[in-house]
Amino acid sequence: MGSELSGLQIFKYLPAAKKLADANCKKCGCPTCMAFALKLAKKQTEIEKCPSASDELRCLIEEAVKVKQHEYTIGVENPVKTGGETVMFRHDKTFVNRTVFAVLLESSDVDFDKKLRRIKNFEIERIGETFKIDAIHLKDTGEFLSAAEKVKKAGFVLIAESDDTEALSSLKEENPLIITNKAENFKDNLVAVTADDIDSLEAASKEKIKNGYKKIVLNPVLKNIADTIEALTYIRRMAIIDKFEPMTFPVMVKIPSEKNLGKTTALAALLICRYANIIVFEDFDEAMMAALLTLRQNIFTNPERPLQVESKVYEFNEPDRNSPVILTTNFALTYFAVANELESLPFGSYLVVTPSDGMSVLTAWSADKFTADIAAKTVKKFNLEEKVNRKAIIIPGLLSHMKEELEQALVGWDIIVGTIEACEIPDFIKSLNYIKS
């Protein structure tokens, strides 16, 4: 057993803190009560090992280990995780599992193959990650199993909606999320609990728990945006703050087809932020998905860990000995902004990326994560002098005040102060006479 309590919080309840006779008795296998508390906080021992632990402490730990939101895996070949959230707000810690994006298809749709192909062909790349649609919500309107097979072959996770228990049973190995009116046959599988108001949803969830269902996804089908956001906020609050078991499950929301894609995009954006674990889209549009996947990436980035790229020399357009050398930090957004511009040049270039803990240029400089010494070591480490004839390095315009310092650290190299904005890089480099264009 472990807990989310700190060692000190636990210690306050142990005999040593209360100056009781059995303090530090070592019966738990630890030399002191403090050592035991620290171990317990790290989940390396169990409360049962201390015979003197009070009921108050046992209750506290019991409460602390209750799950806030269950985490499930859907699919087998390209599985996605859903749920597992632990905070109400991203800035409190981080959101854990990205909202699953699913597109609804009807199994007997005459354009099924065409629609599936279009969804399969869609992908975007952003800050070093490639994103696609995660899942297909397949609604049984006939020819269900052959359509499910196509979904599997296309590499999507399956959300299977059908009342054909035989067909659903044959899909169990795909580890789908099941939506059915005959859920009693799938108590060991991940099933959706559907209701059209929050009280009914809570009651249905309680009933499922009582009847031994192992894995649940809550599926509120609500009338309008305001009701939906209110319900999802309520569910998340009941899960995270109150650990109220019937609400401690991932939540899926279906966005109905809408002529105005801007409205769908706005609603989905709201749902990504608050608090849909799975969104099912009835509409599929590449531009809409690209915008929403970008938002999703931002929301689910861990604010405690800046996005960063590896510190190394990146090569663009087959550079040679006459190519320019550009220097920047390893903050992912900085890297990709510069990299995009270098890719657009009609000649090759080298981009030297310093190890700067994922900080942007000025932040790294002010935190001593980008110093002349670090820059010099990086240039030496990657043998830049052997790659180019002309020893010149273009530094970010924001670091113009470091020119002299860098010249002293990088003996024999010219330091050229570059541009402040990445978009100005191509014209700036082209303007440097010594570089062939």
Q: Where does this chain bind ligand SF4 (CB under 6 A)? A: 14-16, 22, 24-28, 30, 33, 36, 50, 52
Minimum CB separation of residue 63 from ligand SF4 in Å reads: 20
Which has the closest alpha carbon to 297: 158, 125, 157?
125
Q: Let me know: does 319 contact 418? Beta carbons within 8 Å.
A: no
Please state the closest distance from residue 35 (CB atom) to ligand SF4, in A. 8
Q: Kindly state the smallest distance separating residue 66's Cβ from ligand SF4, in Å.
A: 23
Q: Between helices 112-121 and 144-153, what is the axis angle to 10°?
A: 20
Q: Please give the Cα distance from 162 to 369 (Å, whole number).
A: 56
CB of 4 to ligand SF4, least distance (A): 19
Q: In this structure, what token pair is assigned to residue 40?
A: 């317990």
| CA 226 – CA 46 distance, rounded (Å) | 45
Shortest distance, CB of residue 5 to ligand SF4, whole angstroms? 14
The smaller minimum CB distance to ligand SF4, of residues 19 and 210, is found at 19
Contact 36, 49 (CB under 8 A): yes
Please state the closest distance from residue 45 (CB atom) to ligand SF4, in A. 9
CA gap 359, 366 in Å, rounded: 10
Q: Which among 45, 68, 69, 57 has a CA at the least distance from the CA of 16? A: 57
3-state secondary structure of 136: strand
User: Based on CB atoms, which residue is closest to ligand SF4, 36 or 131?
Assistant: 36
In the bound state with ligand SF4, the residue whose beta carbon lies nearer, of 50 and 351, is 50
Instruction: Give the nearest distance from C-beta 19 to ligand SF4 in angstroms.
Output: 12
Between 14 and 178, CB nearer to ligand SF4: 14
State the angle between helix axes of 261-273 and 225-240 in degrees (0 to 180), rounded to the nearest 10: 10
- Helices marked H in 171-260: 198-210, 225-240
For ligand SF4, which is the closer residue by CB, 48 or 310?
48
For ligand SF4, give the closer residue by CB, 33 or 376. 33
Q: Which residues contact 199 (CB under 8 A, 6 or more apart)?
A: none
Residue 37 or 158 having the CB closest to ligand SF4? 37
Considering the complex, state which of residue 6 and residue 344 has its C-beta at the smaller distance from ligand SF4: 6
Smallest gap from residue 54 Cβ to ligand SF4 (A): 10
| C-alpha of 49 from chain center | 37
Alpha carbon distance 82, 104 (integer Å): 18
Distance CA 136, CA 157 (A): 6
